[in-house]
Chain A
Amino acid sequence: MSGVISLKTPLSEEVLKLKAGDHVELSGVVYTARDEAHLRMQNEGIPFDPKGAVIYHCGPVIHDNRVIAAGPTTSARMNEISGFLFDKGVRALIGKGGMGNTIRDQLKGRAVYFAFTGGCAALASSHMTLKGVYFEDLGMAEAIWAIELNRLPLVVGIDAQGNDIFDAVRKKSEREFAQYGNR
């Protein structure tokens, strides 16, 4: 792994230069959000400054104002409820498993999707400091937690030019499986 790019939130147009497959270490505050938080933000507005903000698809375990475990959740659940974020200036999403074609188009020229390794909850929390919370009434997993990252290791899964590693891998898997045909 060579040439790790260091970035700090809030992000600017610098994300537009990132390429799918680039390794990035991200620092600064990010905001967790899952299904419920997205729906609430659509209806009531975004409770933090969305300009250059980063959304982390994560339902963390928080205990005594500390982040105990905070691995990524499956991003695809947010495929149809994320578009408004980019209109408001959000520059990146973090999650696992990639997202749909709609998001790939919405990201173009505006933002990127970072992948963080699924199951790495302990590693994630060792790079995190809790800074605050919004929508706490949604419960621990669904609330929006403001978390400061210290060089969290990520990879660009979908860039702002429409390159999508997950989609390319899905297509390869499709081709390989098709070889079984009707054998």
Chain B
Amino acid sequence: MKTPDNPLDRALADATFEAYKSAVIRLPPDVLRAIERASVAETNPVARGEYANILKNISVAEELAVPLCQDTGVPVIYLTVPPDVPLTAGLYDAIADGVRRATREIPIRPNVVDPISRHNSNDNTGAGMPAIHIRPGNRLAVTVLPKGAGAENMSRVAMLLPSQVGQIEKFVVETVHLAGGRPCPPLFLGVGIGGTFDGAAAMAKEALLEPVDEMTEYERGILAAVNKLGIGPMGLGGDFTALAVKIKTAGCHTASLPVAVNVQCWANRHATVEVKR
């Protein structure tokens, strides 16, 4: 594999490595606060024990500088590109290079395989992987969101009818109900509403980057409905099945209502590093 040969690409590869490393070892402060709040408020004794383990795990990972969870996911990348940086294939290659280095040096588990042959590339890259999303901005910065399979596999998309706006909550609750303890709750739920079939799913994932300690009334309402299920941490029962619902919306066709739910386990991992240049 060739390594990037210009300074900007090298710096982007370095930033990708740093963001990946940070993301798999320590949680964002808002995510940690949400878990801590739930651990204090939880009334179910079995669930309280689960929170004790989760919080201890977070501090052990930090102390030993090792990944929180052995499923270090697949690399989902958000790259913010300022006006003066030309969008070239070199940027994509540099990010892939940072991912390969992260796999080798952190180290993290190689999870990326060919979807049909199931052959493992052993470096967490493949066709279209890392999944790179480009956003315009003022600074060149890379965000890594390592997405584990347990929760990702429980995610769903629905093309509701325009008359079913009132059914959005039911679809989210149903998604969590069907998942039960499998996605390692307490969960963070990214919800995309509107746009297109693919756009709703992309919004649902990007919503996971939003601060989890701020929620709209609509988001809180859905969260309360989800928590009535009582699934609790790891499906052992408890007051909180999810800790936050974050919604992103986009304009959609008058005849459509796409809704996507991206399920995220308690380890809502993501980290952003600005590229030095």
Contact = CB atoms under 8 A, between A and B. Distances in A.
Given A1-B45, A176-B228, A119 B267 contact: yes
B109 interface: yes
Interface stretch (B8-16, B64-72, B128-136, B193-201): B64-72
Interface stretch (B77-85, B172-180, B210-218): B172-180
A174 B11 CA distance: 51
Given A74-B182, A177-B174, A153 B236 contact: no
Contact of B67 (A21, A118, A122): A122
A129 interface: no
5 contacts: A119-B267, A153-B52, A169-B230, A174-B177, A176-B230
Interface residues of B, number: 45
A97 B236 CA distance: 8
Nearest to A157: B236
Interface of B: 45-46, 48-50, 52-54, 56-57, 60-61, 64, 66-71, 107, 109, 150, 166-167, 170, 173-174, 177, 180-182, 184, 228-237, 265-267
Please indicate which of the listed interface residues A98, A124, A173 has the most CB atoms of chain B within 10 Å of its own CB: A173
A121 B231 contact: no
A74 B229 CA distance: 21
A18 interface: no
Contacts of A59: 70
A32 to B, nearest CB: 12
Interface string A63-90: 1000011110010100000000000000
Contacts of B237: 165, 168-169, 172
A149 interface: no
B189 to A, nearest CB: 15
The secondary structure that dominates the A interface is mixed
A119 B31 CA distance: 15
B254 to A, nearest CB: 24
A69 B54 contact: no
Q: Which 9 A-B pairs give the minimum distances between C-beta atoms? A: A123-B57, A118-B184, A120-B57, A69-B70, A122-B61, A117-B53, A119-B69, A169-B237, A177-B177
A176 B180 CA distance: 13
Contacts of A115: 234, 236
Given A1-B49, A21-B46, A97-B181, A68 B234 contact: no
A102 interface: no
A48 interface: no
Given A119-B54, A120-B53, A183-B166, 16 more contacts: A1-B45, A21-B46, A69-B66, A71-B71, A74-B182, A98-B235, A122-B64, A122-B66, A123-B53, A123-B57, A155-B236, A169-B237, A173-B180, A173-B230, A176-B228, A180-B170
